[in-house]
Amino acid sequence: MRYLDDRRALAAYAEEVKRHRKGFLFFVKKLIERGAYNLFAESEVRSVYSLEEERQIARDLSAKMRWDASDAPRRLLSRGFSTESFR
């Protein structure tokens, strides 16, 4: 009866994390803390929060906050963005 749909819940949580401008590593950390990371394959987790989306959010956030190029990586890492997202 689909009362609980894990994949739909994963996608909804990913959207919430994106809305708060947090990175993929933050998303994974929260899944691990909640004991939900082991329920999904790594590809499933990455599919709901793609590298392209993470890069776009990182670019938008850097532009909005007016971080210079030398300061942006440190600030993005502190918000849970992966190094691939800003290289």
Query: pLDDT (tens digit, 0 to 9) for every residue of the chain, 87 residues total?
Result: 566 788 999 999 999 999 999 999 999 999 999 999 998 999 999 999 999 999 999 999 999 999 998 999 999 999 999 999 988
pLDDT score at 30:
97
**CA–CA dist 34, 26 (Å, integer):** 12
Dihedrals φ, ψ of 8, to 5°? -70, -40
Q: The whole model's pTM is what?
A: 0.90
